[in-house]
Amino acid sequence: MYDLYSFENGNPNREVKSLVIRERVCKSSLVPSKLPGLNYALNPYRGCAHGCLYCYGPSVLKVRRESWSAKIEVKINLPDILEREVINKTGVVGIGTVTDPYQPIERRYCITKKSLEIISRSNLRASILTKSDLIIRDADFIAGMGGAEAGITITTLNDDFAGQFEPHAPPPSKRIETLKKLSDVGIDTYAMVGPILPIVTEDQLDTLISEIASTGTKRIMIDKLRLRPDMTKTLISCEVMNDPRFREEFFNKMHSDSFYQRIQGEIFKLCKKYQISFEKAF
């Protein structure tokens, strides 16, 4: 067992003592992807130590939600497999579609870094999505890759909300700072404002879009919260859900198409105000 944040640049929102790390051998590295704009998905780790309550990874991979952030599997041979699989392939590889490729354990194992080095020598392009400032370690290398892009997920600027819904991810201010550093070295960047969390993402929405625009990134992508069967219990465990008014408003809005249409419209207007491109993830 390792101390969770002995590998992280940033400071976590909530302290975690330890988690279980297991090395495993994988049979493949590139999986065909149906996600818009991606041809393949690459996930260096199974599980994610950030522990975001809304994560859809456990549902997609049919893993118990309690285990998802407590037991991380390292695909120790993934770079070797990738070296063979990139041959004669073209298109875009999404790195981190069901895990965070720069979660703390990446500092020790460098599976993501090694994968990027292999992709850079191929005819594939990389599209990275993370919440972690550890990506700054590889910023210069990513900037030199042909056609690579990097996205930073930011659902709120409110540290308290982030600390409850994304308990072990770097705080929002660190993510804004990371987005700026990536943009400054010439990487094609975007901010993923998603999933949109009722009340949580609404808080300081104008300031959120303004802060993102100030980093130099040219694009904001949004996505709605899609409730999975095992997600309700986890969301309700949030401290803020002890307030019955908050809980009722949160879940009522979450099931409301009109709410998402309104928020989407507000974000679209703010993107025009701050001269930043607006996209829907799906």
Residue 72 to residues 76, 247, 267: CA-CA distances in angstroms?
12, 31, 35
Number of domains comprising the chain: 1
Which tokens sit at 60? Answer: 């997609």
pLDDT confidence tier of residue 2, bands split at 50, 70 and 90: very low
Cβ neighbours, 10 Å, residue 62: 7
Give yes or no for residue 16 having a pLDDT over 60. no
Per residue in 27-78, pLDDT tens? 999 999 999 999 999 999 999 999 999 999 999 999 999 899 999 999 999 9
The pLDDT value given to residue 11:
45
Per residue in 206-229, pLDDT tens? 999 999 999 999 999 999 999 888
Summary mean pLDDT of the chain: 94
Which tokens sit at 107? Answer: 């500092």
Which tokens sit at 278? Answer: 């607006």
Contact indicator for 53, 42 with CB cutoff of 8 Å: no
Residue 247 per-residue DSSP state: H
Separation of CA 195 from chain center: 10
Contact indicator for 20, 71 with CB cutoff of 8 Å: yes
Backbone angles phi, psi at 179, to 5 degrees: -60, -40
Contact indicator for 198, 249 with CB cutoff of 8 Å: yes
Beta-strand relationship, 31-32 and 40-42: antiparallel
Q: What CA–CA distance (Å, rounded) separates 241 from 251?
A: 10
Angle 194-79-86 from CA coordinates, rounded to 5°: 85
Whole-prediction pTM: 0.93
Contacts of residue 233, Cβ cutoff 8 Å, sequence gap at least 6: none
DSSP H/E element including 81: helix 78-85
Per residue in 187-201, pLDDT tens? 999 999 999 999 999
CATH number of the domain where residue 43 is located:
3.80.30.30
Per residue in 82-112, pLDDT tens? 999 999 999 999 999 999 999 999 999 999 9
Q: What CA–CA distance (Å, rounded) separates 272 from 282?
A: 20
How many CA within 13 A on the CB side of residue 224?
17
Separation of CA 246 from chain center: 25
Domain holding 252, by residue range, is 4-280
Report the share of the chain in percent with pLDDT over 90.
Answer: 89
